[in-house]
Amino acid sequence: MLGVQCRPVNGVALASSVAYGDLKAAGKEHLSFHSQPWRTGACHFRLRIQKPFLRSGVPSATRALVPAPPNGQSGASAVELDLSLNPRVAALKSSKTMFISDKATAMKESGIDVIRLAAGEPDFRTPQAIVEAGVWAAENNLTRYTPNAGTLELRKAICHKLQEENGLTYQPDEILVSNGAKQSIAQAVIAVCGPGDEAIVPAPFWVSYPEMVSLSGATPVIVPTLLEEDFLLKPEQLSEVLNEKSRLLFLCSPSNPTGSVYKLEDLEAIAAIVAKHPRLLVVADEIYEHIIYSPAKHYSFAALPGMWERTLTVNGFSKAFAMTGWRLGYLAAPKHFLAAANKIQSQMTSGACSISQRAGLAALNLGYAGGEVVAEMVKAFRQRRDALVKKLLAMDGVKLSVPQGAFYLFPDFSSYFGAEVQGGGTVNNANELCEFLLEKCLVALVPGDAFGEPKCLRISYAASVEELEEAVSRIEKGLKLLKRKESAIDRKEMIWI
Ligand SMILES: Cc1ncc(COP(=O)(O)O)c(C=O)c1O
């Protein structure tokens, strides 16, 4: 399969009319397809595809004739360039969340009034005390390389935070500060997984887990969970997939994309299974720990009896402190594993930005769980969640597990798959529903297949109440244009008079 993205070139089409789809690389040099009639500026595409890309599988030695540049900089008239990639990289999927966010941003920049609910980033400003600490660092010459693992001051503050808030005891040499939690997770995975290993990824999952596992050479083992069970991994499911190859289990609580939160007893039951497998380690992704709605409560997996030794705890500043652009996250792990991740970082990126580290220190000084400033943001997220949940539960054919944390909703819209669109066309799956909502209703969401659950769409409610209200009303209007298949309509939804 070859993923194709193209832009229609006829005059009618807007910048938003990007169609994409998969095609079988059947050796054809041309591919033709029509966009759906409901797409803005419906038009006909014809692509010419370079022969090398049509070979099945990942070409090991793809070569292409590269013409000499017109300015005559190259001595040769034409060179045969090897275009092959590392097979692990060639097989890597790019992040759909990023793709849709970028597309929605391009639409916005071209003057289209699109509401962007695709990105996973708080809409709040970074708290002032944090910004001031960053500015202070820049003005006071804290602009040099820091130690690879992060400044001792910051690592000590992280140890203090983990002790106070999470009941976890770490020493500064068991903390590795990185350019975001994404880097922390990638390094942890690459440090412990390799060819022949399996990593258990409960679905729905954060988009990057399986890709990071594949990049390490290990195999992701996706374990689907159910909306009816709040998308939580059941201990029996875990038992079933574990074997001597199992090296890693991912746990993300509160979860992106579902907002689900594991209760203490859920984690204890999982820990009891984990404890039986000496090779099994756990990545506990706790980046949303502070964005949680009581009575739900966050528990660190490493704090459970016997789990500290085998848990790689990841956290970061992006979400709770609205610091996505500062790029700061960390790994806390036993020295042996930490040192391996540290070594990777020392060869790949070195220490995180010195200015951000100072800002991170200020974030940790805001008080327990981020103090008042973070509590205010969480309060606002909660109001938005409550308002959206109410609206979504009232929509025909939409199923939802009420999220207990993070800032996402992950409703099941599958009863709309196969629906006819008023005016022509059908929406057949989450991708097409997302395209329809983006292009017809100007609301950007992410299709659930990116997270391993193709029945759902992810809605990020990191937007103002006004924007969210407008988005819901656009979605409602959009869904009214869809005539669901008889078989998709649950009779219980209908009110009989
Ligand atoms: C579950 C989860 N983990 C980790 C990250 C990475 O965060 P960052 O690299 O911004 O610290 C994200 C970001 O979206 C996330 O949602």
- Residue 221: C-alpha distances to residues 106, 107, 241, 242, 276 (Å): 35, 36, 8, 10, 19
User: How many A from CA of 421 to the centre of ligand 1?
Assistant: 36
Pocket of ligand 1 (CB under 6 A): 120, 180-182, 206, 252, 256, 285, 287, 316, 318, 324, 329
Give the position, in ligand 1's atom list, of the atom nearest the Cα of 329.
11
Establish whether the linkage from the previous residue to 8 is cis, with ω within 30° of 0.
no
Determine phi and psi for 79, rounding to 5 degrees: -125, 150
User: How many A from CA of 438 to the centre of ligand 1?
Assistant: 24
Give the position, in ligand 1's atom list, of the atom nearest the Cα of 120.
14
Q: Which mutation among 96, 206, 262 tests ligand 1's pocket best, with the greatest number of atoms within 8 A of CB?
A: 206
Q: Strand, coil or helix: what is 419? A: strand
Residue pLDDT tens, the chain, 497 long: 333 444 443 333 333 333 333 333 334 444 444 455 555 444 444 444 444 444 444 444 455 655 556 665 655 567 889 999 999 999 998 777 777 888 888 999 999 999 999 989 999 999 999 999 999 999 999 999 999 999 999 999 999 999 999 999 999 999 999 999 999 999 999 999 999 999 999 999 999 999 999 999 999 999 999 999 999 999 999 999 999 999 999 999 999 999 999 999 999 999 999 999 999 999 999 999 999 999 999 999 999 999 999 999 999 999 999 999 999 999 999 999 999 999 999 999 999 999 999 999 999 999 999 999 999 999 999 999 999 999 999 999 999 999 999 999 999 999 999 999 998 899 999 999 999 999 999 999 999 999 999 999 999 999 999 999 999 999 999 999 999 887 777 655 444 43
Give the position, in ligand 1's atom list, of the atom nearest the Cα of 316.
11
Give the position, in ligand 1's atom list, of the atom nearest the Cα of 97.
14
Closest listed residue to residue 296, CA positions, set 385, 398, 200:
385
The backbone region for 152, taken as left when phi is positive above 0, alpha when psi lies in -120 to 50, beta otherwise, is alpha
- Residue 267 burial (CB count, 10 A): 20
Q: Tell me the domains of the chain and their CATH numbers.
A: 1-56 (no CATH), 96-120+372-484 (3.90.1150.10), 144-371 (3.40.640.10)
231, 204 contact by CB (below 8 A): yes
Which residues 6+ apart lie within 8 Å of 87 measured at CB?
A: 58, 60
Q: Which mutation among 158, 231, 292, 318 tests ligand 1's pocket best, with the greatest number of atoms within 8 A of CB?
A: 318
Task: Write down the pTM of the prediction.
Answer: 0.85
